[in-house]
Amino acid sequence: MTMMEEVVSLIVRCILFYVIIIVALRIMGKREVGELSVLDIVVYFVMSELLALSISDLTEPPYKAIIAIVVLVLLQYSVSLICIKSKKIRDFFEGRPAIMIEKGKLNQKVMLQQRYTIDDLMYQLRTAGCSTIDEVEFALLENSGTLTVLKKGECCLNYPFPLISDGKIQYQHLCAISHSEKWLLQQCQKQKKKPEEIFIGLWTSDGLWTMDKQTKTSMKMKKSR
């Protein structure tokens, strides 16, 4: 292979893989870099390594890298669909947010577990416009590693995580707020709803805030408008 042929082959491969990566990211429905989960990052690293090897070694046929990328995209897409349906699997792959500050009180145990330093904490609080921990209603360490700060007086939540998610009662969250399933069912009855009819249920200062699940009938009506 002459130098000109190598240059042309390299250009063609770069264009080909550029298009493939764009299509792959569109299929995977990716978010901003700061919102990537651990699984997203692993897939990106493997894809970038495959592309680097395929581009640098012109003797290797590009279809090998393409097949590997297609498998990764299908795997990621399948896992994402499963994670939407199963909270346990979602927690396994993506992790769970941790409450760093609750009602103005710092959870030092969570800080130690997450290897979060005081400097990190104070920087994030200053970024959110808070001077002290007392000003914070909730501070959540998200799966992406960012700290979400909800100020006192601006937050209407009594607990930051949903008690009902996609029609399923989140018993671990009920346990965290020292309430029973019976109490939650009573809250639902006040709104003449069943938990399986609720897409998301949050415990706020005004009681249980809910959003109904979108049924197939309502979806069709919405599309017909």
CATH of the domain at 211: 3.30.240.20
Quick check: 225 pLDDT over 60? no
42 plus 66 within the same structural domain: yes
Lowest mean pLDDT among 80-94, 161-175, 193-207: 80-94
Which residue, of 69, 93, 117, is where some domain finishes?
93
Cα–Cα distance measured from residue 51 to residue 45, given in angstroms and rounded to the nearest whole number: 10
212 plus 193 within the same structural domain: yes
pLDDT one-digit tens code per residue, 2-13:
777 767 777 777
144 plus 63 within the same structural domain: no
Q: 169 with 201: CB under 8 angstroms?
A: no
Cα–Cα distance measured from residue 187 to residue 203, given in angstroms and rounded to the nearest whole number: 10
pLDDT one-digit tens code per residue, 134-153:
999 999 988 777 889 999 98
106 assigned to some structural domain: yes
131 plus 190 within the same structural domain: no
Q: 50 with 60: CB under 8 angstroms?
A: no
Say whether 205 sits in a helix, a strand or coil.
coil
**In the chain, where do the E strands start and end?**
98-102, 105-106, 136-141, 147-151, 164-165, 168-169, 198-204, 207-212
Q: Which helix (H) or strand (E) holds 192?
A: none
54 plus 113 within the same structural domain: no
DSSP for 86-149, written as a single string: -HHHHHHHH---EEEEETTEE-HHHHHHTT--HHHHHHHHHHTT-SSGGGEEEEEE-TTS-EEE
Quick check: 181 pLDDT over 60? yes
Q: 191 with 185: CB under 8 angstroms?
A: no
Residue type, 138: F
157 assigned to some structural domain: no
Choose among 211, 185, 189: nearest CA to 198. 211
Tokens read off for 146: 């960012």
11 plus 50 within the same structural domain: yes
223 assigned to some structural domain: no
Structurally, the chain folds into a number of domains equal to 3
Who has greater pLDDT, 42 or 211? 211
133 assigned to some structural domain: yes
Quick check: 32 pLDDT over 70? no
Cα–Cα distance measured from residue 14 to residue 138, given in angstroms and rounded to the nearest whole number: 46
Report pLDDT for 83: 77
Rounded average pLDDT over 51-76? 78
55 plus 81 within the same structural domain: yes
Who has greater pLDDT, 114 or 225? 114
147 plus 81 within the same structural domain: no
44 plus 104 within the same structural domain: no
pLDDT one-digit tens code per residue, 70-104:
887 788 788 878 877 777 777 777 778 889 999 99
Q: Over the chain, what is the mean pLDDT? A: 81
What's the pTM value of the predicted model, to 2 decimals? Answer: 0.63
Q: Containing domain of residue 186, as a range?
A: 164-217
Cα–Cα distance measured from residue 64 to residue 47, given in angstroms and rounded to the nearest whole number: 12
78 plus 121 within the same structural domain: no
159 assigned to some structural domain: no
26 assigned to some structural domain: yes
121 plus 187 within the same structural domain: no
136 assigned to some structural domain: yes
198 assigned to some structural domain: yes
